[in-house]
Structure 1
Amino acid sequence: MSDPLQQSQDSPEPELAPAPKPDPEPKPETPKRRGAKLWTRDFVMGTIVNFVLCANYFMLMVVMTSYALNVYHAPASVAAFCASIFIIGTLVARFTTATLMARFGQKRTLAIGAATEIALTAMYFLGASLPLLLTVRFLHGFSYGTCSTATATIVTAMVPPERKGEGIGYYMLSVTLGAAMGPFAGIYLSNNFGYEVLFAVAMITAAISVPCVLALRRPAADRAQAARDAGAPVAAHAA
């Protein structure tokens, strides 16, 4: 007979169940990073500047052909050119504004352009001759192109990089609102109150841009340019 003790020694030992793994310690929640501020004073002021100048542009554009026909008795093609020559001036300004900003600074270029917009809008009151109207329209388009380019440069530079798309989208609403309100105001005022009232409202609208431009902080590019200009004589003297 086999020994029971020997059998118990020869039998395999039962496998032990693996010990349960301890629950991992919960990781502390990392605080969510708050997005950089978008609606700063400078962003709001720059957007308002673009809105009022766009409104001024569209307010006059939609009535300029009828104005040239009714007041100057211009041929239809010339009357239409009185409206479209504004766009030619704007196009020319796209190629020259970068040079102006590099020489005079972004904010100063915008301030001069805004003041010029007011002066040129006031010149519509003169009503001297058709060639003068064409000249004023071209210069008005040039000043508008200068202002819109300078404003876009200043505003896009101050938008936080992580909110660039959102910021530019909100900024471009100023163009949309100006295009929506300007034509309505232009046609309504000219039909109900006359061209002189229209020009006065357009001039006041453009004038709103001046205090907004002055409220803008000096752009970083202007400060850097001023620092380089201040250091240039020192560097030349040291050499």
Structure 2
Amino acid sequence: MMSNSKPEKLWGKDYIIVMIASAGISFCNYFFFSTLPIYAQKISGTVVYAGLMTGVYTLAALATRPFSGNLSDKFGRTKLLILGAFLCTIACTLYNFATIISLLIFIRILHGIGFGIHSTSGGAVAADVIPKSRMAEGIGYFGLYGTIAAAVAPGIALSIIENGEIQKFRNLFILAAVVSFISLIFDCCITYERKNKNALNNEILSPTETESYNENLPKTFLGFTSILGLRFLLL
């Protein structure tokens, strides 16, 4: 006998918002993978620092994930999400002033930290707002933004810098800063944590009920929120 119950709603407001914001930050991430090595060569006059641009960024993002995962569990996903977008916006803006290689490396590390925080917290938010009955489907859709960004963003960035003139890079940096700032605005519009907190404040819960509520939120570990959160919720 077939059930007439309707599936739970997947495309909620917060889910769509975090996907758009994460896509924006991811686009800015891939804007620079193919272009910043060229920029580093331009300002340093050598190819020695070209590979370093990707290395320091990736290491900074990876090193940040364990801390951002723990902090998002402690202080809230949305706060960390906003912080990550803010750091990415600052970094993309500062690229315009990176005329020496040491400053460029510092900004690249800052950008990696921001991306690590945002990507970790974004996965946690997605795991929180996706209905349990559609978790696998929701995580699958959520991961598409990274694939699309990886396929499209490098081509956009290379078309902007054209022949590699410094002013062309300035245009790319401004575009990335604007995209990151838009993502920051979207992140500020995520409301599910505030709604959950208000709901708890309006109800008198026993210590056992409060503990049970907190345990239903997927925890982050070493930044791999989506995978562990999915496994936790499907148990």
TM range (shorter): 0.7 to 0.9
1:55-101 CA-partner distances (Å, limit 9, x unpaired) = 0000011111111001221x323221022211011101111112321
Work out whether residues 43 and 101 of structure 2, in 8 Å CA contact, stay in contact via their aligned partners in 1.
no
1:203 maps to 177
Could you tell me how far apart the structure 2 residues matched to 1:133 and 1:185 are? Answer: 21
1:167 maps to 138
Question: More displaced, 149-158 or 95-104?
Answer: 95-104
Could you tell me how far apart the structure 1 residues matched to 2:70 and 2:135 are? Answer: 25
2:101 maps to 130
Could you tell me how far apart the structure 2 residues matched to 1:217 and 1:59 are? Answer: 29
Work out whether residues 43 and 100 of structure 2, in 8 Å CA contact, stay in contact via their aligned partners in 1.
no
| % same residue | 22
Note the 1:78-157 alignment, pairs <5 A. Answer: 78-157=49-128
Match of 2:43 among 61, 65, 71: 71
Superposition deviation, residue 220 in structure 1: 7.5
Q: CA RMSD in A?
A: 2.3
After superposing on structure 2, the runs of 4+ consecutive aligned residues of structure 1 that deviate more than 6 Å are none
Seen in structure 2, the aligned counterparts of structure 1 residues 221 and 78 have a Cα distance that, compared at 3 Å, is farther
Match of 2:24 among 19, 30, 52: 52
Seen in structure 2, the aligned counterparts of structure 1 residues 221 and 153 have a Cα distance that, compared at 3 Å, is farther
The one-letter code of the counterpart of 1:34 is K
1:20 maps to none
Could you tell me how far apart the structure 1 residues matched to 2:193 and 2:151 are? Answer: 30
| Unpaired segments ≥5 residues, structure 2 | 208-235
Please report the TM-score for the alignment, with normalisation by the length of structure 2. 0.78
| Unpaired segments ≥5 residues, structure 1 | 1-28, 233-239
The one-letter code of the counterpart of 1:207 is F
Could you tell me how far apart the structure 2 residues matched to 1:31 and 1:222 are? Answer: 30
The one-letter code of the counterpart of 2:27 is A
Please report the TM-score for the alignment, with normalisation by the length of structure 1. 0.77
Superposition deviation, residue 149 in structure 1: 0.3
Could you tell me how far apart the structure 1 residues matched to 2:97 and 2:2 are? Answer: 66
Superposition deviation, residue 155 in structure 1: 0.7
Seen in structure 2, the aligned counterparts of structure 1 residues 36 and 220 have a Cα distance that, compared at 3 Å, is farther
Specify the structure having the higher radius of gyration (Cα).
1
1:37-67 CA-partner distances (Å, limit 9, x unpaired) = 0011111001001111110000011111111
Could you tell me how far apart the structure 2 residues matched to 1:121 and 1:64 are? Answer: 12
Seen in structure 2, the aligned counterparts of structure 1 residues 180 and 167 have a Cα distance that, compared at 3 Å, is same
Note the 1:29-40 alignment, pairs <5 A. Answer: 32-40=4-12
Match of 1:212 among 156, 166, 186: 186
